[in-house]
Chains A and B, each alone.
Chain A
């Protein structure tokens, strides 16, 4: 069965960096686009970034553009999100989610359980 397991969250000081990982299993990882979506405590969903199945296209929401990098290692079935210059407003549960297609569907049929990132001094 499809599984997405995020890791790498924790408490980090403002201005520092963090790398999130999402280990995928149960499907051909290299055939699907992957996204990161976050949810601040008690708030709604916010899309963060997408990477196409082959890594050829990457897009970001404005609030993380220039500070974050989405990447993938298809040989390791793993998705990453490198976040730099973290701010308090980056505090959220970060979900990885599978695109219905190679990356251009922007609908997410499987989600991980999420990993909490808390930015605080």
Chain B
């Protein structure tokens, strides 16, 4: 079946450094790629997403890049802060048309930002 691979599983950085999380997907028809952040004891929350007609999208300290040819996309967080510490999930749409599409999630990355 379709799948999404996410790396690394854990990431520790110093406050102020950058963090990069990478995902690869298998369904060449995937056209929607969201990133979710899950803080301790809470449900995941969408932080940024990108569609297949765009190569890069930025929102303040967060950016996502997409390489459709290689079927991978990445989350970049610059100037990390302790409040960025959380579990991050990538996802890719699958299942064909947008009326029936589902999301396949990656395994998650636990990001720790050390003050």
Decide whether A and B assemble into one complex: no
